[in-house]
A and B are shown apart, each in its own frame.
With several copies, the nearest count.
Chain A
């Protein structure tokens, strides 16, 4: 598929966030690709736009009790509970391992206090590797009581936290927003005001499933996070709302399985996308999707993937109505 024209990849799949260039607009989402080692046998990692690592906190977290996952119509519920190795093992083992790959790494951070967020970020910053592009701040995990959702549902705290973390790094600072709010616009605005380089959305929707014979919740934590194709329409609407509210780049997430799905997000206004649940079914989804996007650009005669971004045509009378 990929042809070279004077060394140039054609069509050109490269995108930038601020001064950072990514090979393709397709990242793998936090918590759905481990730390690279697990999936490498099934996915050519260097063909990915980049890897967003599993949320890391200051101390290791063992995660929630079984059951942690339930399949639902067109999606799944999870309640992993931010199981992670903790930032010290992360910088000792995971980050150096990820450094070997010629692709960008974005470290996703989850915490329960401003200080913890800052400490984790600064600890990674102090042990950073060359291909570490920046940080994604998870203020939207619905599955642990202290998973930062208290930040994710408060505009003020979102702004404070973003401003605080901005002081600690010049790398990309990406705020990951939750869809579980009445309106995502004020959060997008807050992140932009406080100096975030980009926002990413959506994290999972709060959901639930019942074992009707046992009359018990199927997840040990009662509720969990819904992801997968089922949530794609909601994710697109949230990205659309955020796009109108802020002017920093958006990373679209939610239910992306095919190249067509990813292209929908770009057209609505996302500069990049993340692929999550699809990795569980197709560990090389992130690569396949980028290849499919390239084929689409070819067939439509589009030279640069950037031309798709925010290219949605909305009829004038509707824009007048404020849509």
Chain B
């Protein structure tokens, strides 16, 4: 493979920064490769501060939006790395590796209605998924839960059903229990769940999908050192059936994920 085919240009300039809520920002940057090649559900691995060792490792972020030669991520300031990134200014340079991982399986024939079940910053991969589903002409229902009204990032989503823990907007309670009522009332025509959010919520969705026997895909967040399959640091445990079938005890989230079919993994 010659040098030219290789992805060596990682530095990209931040062209737009928006603060959606305190500690919740979007960063748009110029990166033709990521902008043009990313499919819904893939992620990038971003270095918080190039050349410095605190923190040392990159941080993975789902691609939130792409347009022309620009891509966007949404960052929730959380620990050392994300707080540095959230403070990035327009004009700064980011060291971005990607696109990485596999896309959502939104073109599988096994469903009529795409149900996007979102918890908090799990929204990150959903605008691109929405765009892809619309190209597939699939009906979409989006059930989106957050701690409070101010924490929603609603751009690029469709047919919203909101839920907040504090009742400041929409349904007062968890998005999963909202989904349960919809399913019980049979309001969703042969649905498939696309789930991303806190682990607890994803477990609940996993159970719900099993209970109603509907297809369900879950996008995981695990620690990652490399994001490209060379450190083996990001395994998820497979369920017994999958293990017996495939002989695989683990799957690497960065290479075989980040999204997996709910029944093949143990959260």
Is A294 interfacial (CB 8 A cutoff)?
A: no
A280→B231 contact, CB < 8 A? yes
Which residues of chain A from 43 to 66 have a CB within 8 Å of any chain B CB? Answer: 43-45, 62-63, 65-66
What residues of chain A lie closer than 8 Å to B232, measured between beta carbons?
31, 63, 68, 80, 83
What residues of chain A lie closer than 8 Å to B183, measured between beta carbons?
none
Is A96 interfacial (CB 8 A cutoff)?
A: no
What residues of chain B lie closer than 8 Å to A284, measured between beta carbons?
8
What residues of chain B lie closer than 8 Å to A76, measured between beta carbons?
56-57, 225
Which residues of chain B from 94 to 108 have a CB within 8 Å of any chain A CB? Answer: 97
B230→A33 contact, CB < 8 A? yes
B55→A71 contact, CB < 8 A? yes
Is B223 interfacial (CB 8 A cutoff)?
A: yes
What residues of chain B lie closer than 8 Å to A32, measured between beta carbons?
230-231
B231→A67 contact, CB < 8 A? no
B250→A63 contact, CB < 8 A? yes
What residues of chain A lie closer than 8 Å to B8, measured between beta carbons?
42, 284
A280 and B237 contact, Cβ closer than 8 Å, known pairs A71-B55, A228-B56: no
Residue from the list B3, B6, B223 in contact with A70, Cβ < 8 A? B223
State A228–B230 Cα separation when bound (angstroms). Answer: 15
Chain B 47-91 interface mask (CB, 8 Å, partner A; 1/0): 100000111111000000000000000000000000000000000
Interface bin, chain B: 20 to 34
Residue from the list A62, A69, A80, A228 in contact with B249, Cβ < 8 A? A62
What residues of chain B lie closer than 8 Å to A45, measured between beta carbons?
1
Residue from the list B55, B230, B236, B248 in contact with A280, Cβ < 8 A? B230
Is B222 interfacial (CB 8 A cutoff)?
A: yes
A65→B231 contact, CB < 8 A? no
Is B170 interfacial (CB 8 A cutoff)?
A: no
A281→B54 contact, CB < 8 A? no
Residue from the list B55, B224, B235 in contact with A63, Cβ < 8 A? B235
Is B229 interfacial (CB 8 A cutoff)?
A: yes
What residues of chain A lie closer than 8 Å to B237, measured between beta carbons?
65-66
Is A229 interfacial (CB 8 A cutoff)?
A: yes
State A228–B255 Cα separation when bound (angstroms). Answer: 23
Residue with the highest number of chain A CB atoms closer than 10 Å, among B47, B54, B57: B57
B235→A75 contact, CB < 8 A? no
State A206–B235 Cα separation when bound (angstroms). Answer: 22
A39 and B53 contact, Cβ closer than 8 Å, known pairs A62-B249, A66-B222: no
State A40–B7 Cα separation when bound (angstroms). Answer: 9
A62→B54 contact, CB < 8 A? no
Is A195 interfacial (CB 8 A cutoff)?
A: no
Is B173 interfacial (CB 8 A cutoff)?
A: no
A42 and B56 contact, Cβ closer than 8 Å, known pairs A63-B250, A69-B231, A280-B225: no
What residues of chain A lie closer than 8 Å to B47, measured between beta carbons?
281
Contacts across chains A and B counted by CB atoms under 8 Å = 102
A279 and B230 contact, Cβ closer than 8 Å, known pairs A41-B7, A63-B235, A66-B237: yes
Is A207 interfacial (CB 8 A cutoff)?
A: no
What residues of chain B lie closer than 8 Å to A66, measured between beta carbons?
222, 235-237, 250
A41 and B57 contact, Cβ closer than 8 Å, known pairs A68-B232, A78-B231: no
Is B32 interfacial (CB 8 A cutoff)?
A: no
Chain B 26-50 interface mask (CB, 8 Å, partner A; 1/0): 0000000000000000000001000
State A73–B47 Cα separation when bound (angstroms). Answer: 16
State A41–B3 Cα separation when bound (angstroms). Answer: 9
Is B132 interfacial (CB 8 A cutoff)?
A: no
What residues of chain B lie closer than 8 Å to A75, measured between beta carbons?
56
Residue with the highest number of chain B CB atoms closer than 10 Å, among A34, A62, A70, A280: A280
Closest chain-B Cβ to A233's Cβ sits at a distance in Å of: 13
Closest chain-A Cβ to B100's Cβ sits at a distance in Å of: 10
A68 and B233 contact, Cβ closer than 8 Å, known pairs A39-B228, A42-B6, A63-B250: yes
Residue from the list B7, B54, B55, B233 in contact with A80, Cβ < 8 A? B233
What residues of chain A lie closer than 8 Å to B56, measured between beta carbons?
71, 74-76, 228-229, 277, 281
Chain B 198-230 interface mask (CB, 8 Å, partner A; 1/0): 000000000000000000000000111110111
Is A283 interfacial (CB 8 A cutoff)?
A: yes
State A38–B53 Cα separation when bound (angstroms). Answer: 24
What residues of chain A lie closer than 8 Å to B54, measured between beta carbons?
73-74
Closest chain-A Cβ to B39's Cβ sits at a distance in Å of: 16
Closest chain-A Cβ to B53's Cβ sits at a distance in Å of: 5
A44→B3 contact, CB < 8 A? yes
Nearest B residue (CB) for A45: B1
State A38–B256 Cα separation when bound (angstroms). Answer: 12
Closest chain-A Cβ to B223's Cβ sits at a distance in Å of: 5
What residues of chain A lie closer than 8 Å to B7, measured between beta carbons?
41-42
Closest chain-B Cβ to A237's Cβ sits at a distance in Å of: 19
Chain A 63-103 interface mask (CB, 8 Å, partner B; 1/0): 10111111101111010100100000000000000000000
Shortest Cβ-Cβ A-B pairs, 8 listed: A69-B233, A280-B226, A38-B229, A62-B249, A34-B230, A280-B225, A80-B232, A68-B233
Can you name 10 A-B pairs with beta carbons within 8 Å? Answer: A31-B232, A32-B231, A41-B7, A44-B3, A68-B235, A71-B57, A75-B56, A80-B233, A280-B231, A281-B56
Q: List 14 extra interface pairs beyond A34-B230, A44-B1, A74-B53, CB under 8 A.
A: A34-B229, A40-B1, A41-B228, A44-B6, A63-B235, A65-B237, A67-B223, A68-B232, A69-B224, A74-B54, A76-B56, A78-B225, A83-B232, A283-B228
